[in-house]
Amino acid sequence: MKKLSLIDLAFLLVETEDSPKHVAGLMIFKPPLGKRDDFARELYEELCEADKPLEPFNLEFHMFSVGGPSWRPTENFDLSQHLFYHRPETPLSRSDLYEMISKLHEPRLDRSRPLWEFHIIDNVEKGRFAIYSKIHHAYADGVTLTGWTSKSLNEKPDAEHFTPVWQLSPGRRSRRSKRGGRSSPAATASGLLRRLLRGSVKQLKTTGGLARLGAQLTLERFGLTKNAVSLPFRLDERTPLMGQVTAERQFAKASVPMAHVKRIRDMCRATLNHVALTCVDGALHQYLKDSGSDIRRPISIQMPVSLRSKEDTGGGNQIGLIAVDLSRTTDDPYERLREIGFTLRNVRNQIDGVPAASIVQYSIILGVASQLTELLRLNDVLPSISDTVVSNVPGPAEHLYLKDAIMEEMCPVSTLIAGSHLNITLYSYAGTLQFGLVATRELGDLQRLAAHIEKAFVDLEEAVFHPRKSKSKSKPKPMAKKRAPRKRRAKA
C-alpha cells in the first residue's frame, strides 16, 4: 500500500465528468521506408505481450483504506483495457487527427483499474502513425511523465529494442539509497526525535512562507508593489476564456523553430518563457478582439511551478500554481516582451524566497476555493483565479526513436482547471517549440488561436530584428561601424 500526497489526492477528489484530471501526450512517428504499411499494427501486436506493468502503472486508487486513501497493486490486470489500436479506412489529415485526439481526451479514466491508456493510431497522412498516451495527473506531474516517456524511447534507431513506458523499471526513473540492517531501540528513538524536530522546523518555515505570500498579496492589493504575484479572483472584465468547464474538448497545436526563439533570446537577453508568453499574450488579445471581447486590463495566467529537485525523478506531483499578470495592452511586441520579462523576473525572485511546501499549500487553498465554485456551478458568474493556464515542459533536444521509427513531433495534451476554458502547454522537442492547446467547445475555433500564436511570433521577430518595418515604437539605436553588434536588451 502506498499513501497519496495531499496534492496527488486533490487531483482525484476534484475530478468530475466535465473536468477530468488526466494529462496526455501526442507523438507522431515516421516509420522507415518499406515498413510503413504494417509497422503500427506489428507494434501493437508486440506490445500486447507486454502485459506485466510496473509501478505506478499497476496501481489502483483506493479511497477507503486502512490509513487513508492509497495506491494498491491491481490483482487482475487486463492490458486490453489500456492498450488500443485504431486504423481509420482513409488516411487521417491533421485536422482529423486532432479531432480524434479531442474525443479520446474527453472521458474520465475508469477508477476500477490503473489510470492510464495507450492508443496507437495507424494510417495518419503521409505514411505516419501516432500514439496518444493518457495518464492520470495523480500519478505524476508533466515534467516527470515527459521524462518517463523519453526514457522509454531510443536515442538512435534500434529495430529490436523498445521498452513500453508501463514496463520501464522504476530504478531507471528513481534512484533512492537503501540502508539494510536493524536499528537499535536507542537509535530508533533518536531517529524519531530528529524526525519530529525536523517536522516542527519544516512546519514553522511553511507557515512563515504562507505569511510572506499573504503579505505580498496584501501589498499588491493596495498598490504598494508592482508586478508581484497576481491577485486571484479579482478579474473585473470577464472574457470567453473564463467560465464553467464543460465536457467536450478540442485540441490544436502551434509550433515555432527553436533556432528562431534562441535568436530573440540572445538579442534581447530574455528567456524562452519570456518569448513564448509574449506570443501567447499577443495571440490571446487578438483572439479576444476577433471575438468582440477585447479587454483593457492585462491577461492573467496561472503558471505551474516545478518544485522538484533535479535529483528527484520519482512519481507524484511536486508543483505549485502562481497567478501572473502579463503585459498591458499594446500593439508593440517588443514592449510586450520587455514588460513580461520584467514581471516574470519579479515573480521568480519572490517565490524563490518562499519554501516549496508553502507554495504547495497556497496552491491547494486556491484550488479548493476554485473547485467549490465549479461544484456549485458558479464559474459563469463569479470571477476566476485567472484567465487561463500556461505551463512549460522541457523536452529532449534531439530526435528520439520507437524501434527504428523516428518521432517527428511530440506535443502535450493537458487538463483544464476550474473556471477556465483553455490550457496552453509549451513543449520543446528536437529543435521545435510546440504550443499544445486544449479547450472546451464553448471557446470557439481553437485552431484560429494557434494561428495567432504563430503570427505573434513572426511579429515579434520583425519588432526585434526589423523594427523599422514593424509597428514597434521601440527603435534600436544605430550600430557604430566596425564594432560588435549591440544587443538590444529587454528591461526584463
Q: Among candidates 74, 77, 147, 70, which has minimal Cα distance to 315? A: 147
Q: Which residues contact 374 (CB under 8 A, 6 or more apart)?
A: 14, 16, 19, 244, 245, 418, 419
Question: What pLDDT, on the 0 to 100 scale, is given for residue 238?
Answer: 80
pLDDT at 471: 64
Q: Which residue is it, cell 523576473?
A: 345
SS3 of 488, please?
Answer: coil
pTM reported for the whole predicted model: 0.83
pLDDT, tens only, 316-352? 556 677 888 899 888 899 999 999 998 888 877 777 7
**For residue 486, what pLDDT is reported?**
43
The β-bridge relationship of strands 2-3 and 401-402 is unpaired
Cα–Cα distance for residue pair 268/489, rounded to 1 Å: 4
Sequential pLDDT tens for the chain (492 residues): 688 888 788 889 889 999 999 999 999 999 998 787 899 999 999 999 999 999 999 999 999 888 789 999 999 999 999 999 999 999 999 999 999 999 999 999 999 999 999 999 999 999 999 999 999 999 987 778 888 999 999 999 988 888 999 999 866 555 333 334 444 444 444 554 454 445 444 555 556 665 666 666 666 665 666 655 666 666 667 889 999 999 999 999 999 999 999 999 999 999 999 999 999 999 999 999 998 887 888 999 988 776 655 555 555 556 677 888 899 888 899 999 999 998 888 877 777 777 777 777 777 777 777 778 888 888 888 878 889 999 998 899 999 999 999 999 999 999 998 889 999 999 999 999 999 999 999 998 999 999 999 999 999 999 999 876 666 666 544 333 434 444 444 444
Q: Give ∠ CA 316-322-325 in degrees, rounded to 5.
A: 150
pLDDT of residue 195: 47
3-state secondary structure 435-482: EEEEEEHHHCCHHHHHHHHHHHHHHHHHHHHCCCCCCCCCCCCCCCCC
Is 277 in contact with 490 (CB distance < 8 Å)? Answer: no
CA 140 – CA 466 distance, rounded (Å): 43
- Burial class from Cβ neighbours inside 10 Å (0-12, 13-18, 19+) for residue 135 reads buried
Phi, psi for residue 366 in degrees, rounded to 5: -65, -40
According to DSSP, the β-strands at 422-429 and 388-393 are parallel
3-state secondary structure of 236: coil
pLDDT in the model for residue 175: 39
Q: What is the pLDDT of residue 470?
A: 66
The rounded distance, in Å, linking the Cα atoms of 50 and 45 is 10
Q: Where are the alpha helices (DSSP H) in 14-141?
A: 39-47, 94-105
User: What single letter denotes the amino acid at residue 418?
Assistant: A
Spatial contact of 430 and 258, defined as CB atoms under 8 Å apart = no
Q: Work out the number of other CB atoms within 10 angstroms of the CB of residue 241.
A: 25
For residues 114 and 53, is the Cβ–Cβ distance under 8 A?
Answer: yes
**Phi-psi region at 439: left, alpha or beta (left = phi > 0; alpha = psi -120 to 50):** beta
Q: Which domains does the chain have, with CATH numbers?
A: 2-170 (3.30.559.10), 203-465 (3.30.559.30)
- Which residue type sits at 47? L
Q: Which of 277, 300, 286 is nearest to 455 (CA)?
A: 286
pLDDT at position 481, please?
40
From CA 121, how far away is CA 40, in angstroms rounded? 8
CA distances from 73 to 59, 77, 114, 304, 446 (A): 4, 9, 9, 30, 39
- Asked whether 345 and 492 are in contact (CB, 8 A), the reply is yes
pLDDT value of position 306: 62
Q: What is the largest CA-CA distance in the chain?
A: 78
d(CA 178, CA 157): 35
pLDDT at 221: 62
Name, in order, each residue with C-beta under 8 angstroms of 387's C-beta and a sequence gap of 6 or more.
Answer: 235, 239, 241, 242, 284, 299, 300, 301, 420, 422
Answer whether 322's CB lies under 8 Å from 305's CB. yes
